[in-house]
């Protein structure tokens, strides 16, 4: 599996975490297992373990993302790493400094890992090719491509409630066309062997030929939710309205908004997820977002554990027997 996969080192262990695509089921399961060992760190009186003490991690965010950046920062701090938060859009690049110069400057500061968020697809892969070999890169979301750590926290949340992926039917609802979360979730769900992945949304927001990724497409929300175990709602960006891809927000909510009544089409023990931030009354009703089926806040907590696991793995700080080194 190592081959041309730049995410892995010569022994098949994670060196970078750029994409779900190209990995395999055992590796995803290992990430989920490691995350279990970190899930309770936040409940301790002292919320730190010395796993990455002495390591320096730089958050390179070329576009804003409060939730993702904050959870990466917390994950690094709980692993006892030193963390740099850099808003590149208002720093070096605005002064005319090219990206490679910025990267090499950070290398000279002896950084060990870059966490990259960028509006362009493939940016994290590109940065991986530009930095020194000892630096690991984690993709925190790139364009319309992927958001792999979000997918893994989604998988972790599902596993906490549903255990066996092979028996599940999962629906992903909304703006799939522009969603890096949807792409990563589809790859991860299929890799973990779910029974069925459904995509629900208007024709204008469903990518052409997405069926090739092993999903079933529905344009009728009620039919798409029938007998579903997990519903993953996607954030609808309001600029899509201006681009004539959608009708008004009210019309969209009437057709594709998740309400308590509509959720009754799913199984009684369905769980509802959302990567955030939520547009209440646009893609989801507040009664559902705050209701008994919602696990949205749990996703946030699980995001810290997953990112701790991935950071420790790419830094080679885990042992062969599955126990976390301390």
User: Count of CB atoms within 10 A of residue 40's CB?
Assistant: 9
Where does 25-146+303-314 sit in CATH, by number?
3.40.50.1370
Does 25-146+303-314 match 148-300 in CATH topology?
yes
Q: 288-304: per-residue pLDDT in tens?
A: 999 999 999 999 999 99
Is the pLDDT score of 203 beyond 60? yes
Confidence band of 305 (pLDDT split at 50, 70, 90): very high
Per CATH, domain 148-300 is 3.40.50.1370 = yes
pTM of the model: 0.92
When mean pLDDT is compared across 119-128, 221-230, 286-295, the lowest value belongs to 119-128
pLDDT score for 89: 62
Q: What is the mean pLDDT of residues 308-314?
A: 97
The predicted structure's pLDDT at residue 299 = 96
The reported pLDDT for the residue numbered 323 is: 42
How sure is the predictor about 139, in pLDDT bands with cuts at 50, 70 and 90?
Answer: very high
Rounded mean pLDDT of 146-157?
97
Q: How confident is the model at residue 245 (pLDDT cuts 50, 70, 90)?
A: low
Q: Would you kindly state where each structural domain of the chain is located, as residue ranges?
A: 25-146+303-314, 148-300
């Amino acid at each position: 599996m190592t081959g041309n996969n730049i995410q892995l080192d010569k022994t098949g262990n994670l060196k970078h975490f750029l994409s779900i695509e190209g990995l395999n089921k055992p590796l995803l399961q290992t990430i989920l297992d490691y995350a279990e060992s970190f899930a309770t760190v936040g409940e301790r009186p002292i919320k730190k373990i010395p796993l990455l003490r002495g390591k320096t991690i730089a958050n390179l965010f070329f576009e804003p993302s409060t939730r993702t950046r904050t959870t990466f920062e917390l994950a690094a701090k709980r692993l006892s790493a030193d963390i740099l938060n850099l808003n590149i859009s208002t720093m070096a690049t605005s002064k005319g400094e090219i990206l490679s110069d910025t990267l090499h400057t950070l290398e000279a500061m002896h950084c060990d890992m870059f966490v990259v968020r960028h509006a362009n697809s493939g940016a994290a892969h590109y940065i991986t090719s530009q930095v020194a070999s000892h630096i690991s890169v984690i993709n925190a979301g790139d364009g319309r491509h992927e958001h792999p750590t979000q997918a893994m926290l989604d998988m972790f949340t599902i596993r906490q409630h549903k255990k066996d992926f092979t028996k599940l039917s999962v629906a992903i609802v909304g703006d799939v066309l522009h969603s890096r979360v949807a792409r990563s979730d589809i790859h991860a769900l299929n890799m973990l062997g779910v029974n069925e992945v459904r995509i629900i949304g208007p024709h204008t927001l469903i990518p052409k030929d997405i069926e090739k990724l092993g999903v079933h497409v529905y344009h009728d929300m009620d039919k798409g939710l029938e007998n579903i175990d997990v519903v993953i709602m996607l954030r609808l960006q309001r600029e899509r309205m201006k681009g004539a891809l959608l009708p008004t927000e009210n019309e969209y909510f009437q057709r594709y908004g998740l309400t308590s009544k509509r959720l009754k089409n799913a199984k009684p023990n369905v769980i509802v997820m959302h990567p955030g931030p939520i547009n209440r009354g646009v893609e989801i009703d507040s009664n559902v977002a705050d209701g008994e089926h919602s696990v949205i806040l749990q996703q946030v907590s699980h995001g810290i554990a997953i990112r701790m696991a991935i950071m420790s793995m790419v830094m080679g700080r885990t042992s062969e027997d599955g126990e976390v080194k301390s």
